[in-house]
Structure 1
Amino acid sequence: MSRLGFYFDSSSCIGCRTCQVACKDRNRLEVGVNFRKVRTFETGVYPDPHLYHYSGACNHCKEAKCVKGCPTGALNTAGDGTIQHDKEKCIGCKYCMWNCPYGVPQFIEERGIMGKCDSCKDLRDKGENPICVDSCIMRCLEFGDLDELAAKHGSNLMQTLPILPSSSITNPSILINPKDCALNPDFVEVEV
C-alpha cells in the first residue's frame, strides 16, 4: 500500500499563513490552537541575510510516536498511512502531544480532548484536497502518494531541515523542497 503525505515547497512559500487560517477556520479551533502552523526563520547576517517560511502540520509518520503513546487507541494509523484521531476514544491525557517530536497534537480545552490534522479525511473521501492545499495561493502544498509526489518534484526533496527533528525518529510522510537558506543550521525563529 502506498503512503500518503504532504509535499511542501519552501522555495515558493511567502509566509502568508492562508493555509493556517483555512485549517483553523475549517476545524473551528480556538485561539492558540493550530493544526497547521506557518513559522518564519532568519539565517545569515548583514550584508547577506535570508528569510524562509515553514508550513507544518501532522507529518502522518510511519513510526508515529503519538500512536505508540496513546493509552486508549484514540490515535491510529489508517489504511492509507495517515494518522487519524478518534474523538470518542480520546480522554485528553496529552500523552500524544508529549510523545510527538514535532509537537503536533493540540489540547482543545473547550472539548477536553486532543486534536490534530487528519489531512481533511472527509474531504479526501469525497475526492477533494485537504483545505490547506486548496487555500495556498502560491501552490506550495500538495497532498498525495509520496512516490508520485517525489517523481513529480525531483530528487532534491528532503524530510528533515535543521529546524525539525531528525526524520530517522519517526519516518515522516512529508517531502520538502527546501529554499537554500533553509539548510543553514544557524537560524533564528522570527515571531510574527
Structure 2
Amino acid sequence: MNSTKQYGFYVDTSTCSGCKTCMIACKDRNDMDLGILWRRVYEYAGGGFVENGDDTYTQNVYAYNVSVGCNHCSEPVCVKACPTGAMHKRRSDGFVLVEQSMCIGCESCARACPYDAPQLDAARKVMTKCDGCYDRVEKGLKPICVDSCTHRALEFGLIEDLRAKYGDNADVKPLPDSGITSPNWVVKAHKNENQGARIINVREI
C-alpha cells in the first residue's frame, strides 16, 4: 500500500467553529445528491452539572467540532474489502480513489471504513468518496475544503511535512483508533477530548 508520495490533512479541533463551510464547499463542487457527504463536520459534546450541596451547581459542559473526510489511509481497509479492485490507492500521491467503471455498489468498502468515507450514490449504484481534489492538487491548488475553511482549521500537504510541523497525533475521541487504518491526517485535539464526549449527528444536506 505504500505510495511514492503521500498527501494528508491537518485538523485543528480547538479552532474549528463548526460552521460547515468545508462540508458545503465540497458538496457544491462535486454536485452531490441529498445525503451524500464526502466531508462531514461532527459536533462532540459532554460534561454536565454537579450539585454542590449548598443549592448551587458546578458545570463542566463543553463542545467541540471535528471536520472528517477520507484520510487516504496507509492501510485502507476499504481497499482490502473491495471485491472488484475498484477501490484503490494511487502510488503517485497516496489518494484512495474509486474506479467507478469497476464498482458494483456492494457497499463493502463503506462497512469496512471506520470513518464513513465511502458514500453510496443510490441513483447510479456506485460508491463515491473524497478524492482529495486531486485535479486541484495537480495544479498546485489545495483541496476545496481547505481553501474554504473560514478559521483555517484545516491544512493540507505532504503528510511528512504536516507531522514535522504539528506532530503525529492521529486520534481524537470518540473517533476510532488510528491503528486500524493508519490514517494520513494529524489532529490537534481539543483540551476536553478525553472527557468522554458523545456525538451529535451532522445535519443531512
Confirm or deny a common fold (TM above 0.5).
yes
2:11 paired with 1:8: yes
Structure 1: unaligned runs, 5 residues or longer: none
Which residue of 85, 96, 99 corresponds with 1:86?
99
- Counterpart in the other structure of 2:67: 55
How far apart are residue 163 of structure 1 and its match?
1.1
Shift of 1:60: 0.6
C-alpha distance in structure 1 between counterparts of 2:79 and 2:62, whole Å = 37
Aligned to 1:20: 23
Deviation (angstroms), 1:65: 0.5
Corresponding residue for residue 31 of structure 1: 34
Identity across matched positions, percent = 41
Correspondent of 2:162 among 149, 155, 159: 149
One-letter code of the match for 2:71? N
Alignment of 1:1-192 (within 5 A): 1-46=4-49, 47-79=59-91, 80-153=93-166, 155=167, 157-184=168-195, 186-191=196-201
User: In structure 1, what is the Cα distance between the partners aligned to 2:102 and 2:140?
Assistant: 27
TM-score (norm: length of structure 1): 0.94
Secondary structure at the counterpart of residue 178 of structure 2: coil
Mapped to 1, the partners of 2:130 and 2:154 lie a distance apart of 14
Q: Which of 1 and 2 has greater Rg?
A: 2
What CA distance in whole angstroms lies between the structure 2 residues aligned with 1:32 and 1:22? 15
Number of paired residues?
A: 189
Runs of 4+ aligned residues of structure 1 deviating over 6 Å after TM superposition are none
For 2:53, the equivalent position in structure 1 comes to none
Q: Give the whole-Å Cα distance in 2 for the aligned partners of 1:4 and 1:124.
A: 10
The root-mean-square deviation of aligned C-alpha atoms, in Å, is 1.3
2:55 alignment counterpart: none
Q: CA deviation at 1:14?
A: 0.2
The whole-number CA distance in structure 2 between the counterparts of 1:85 and 1:158 is 27
Mark the runs of 5 or more structure 2 residues left unpaired by the alignment. 50-58
Q: How far 1:102 moved relative to its partner? A: 1.6
Alpha-carbon distance between aligned partners in 2 of 1:48 and 1:99, rounded to the nearest angstrom: 35
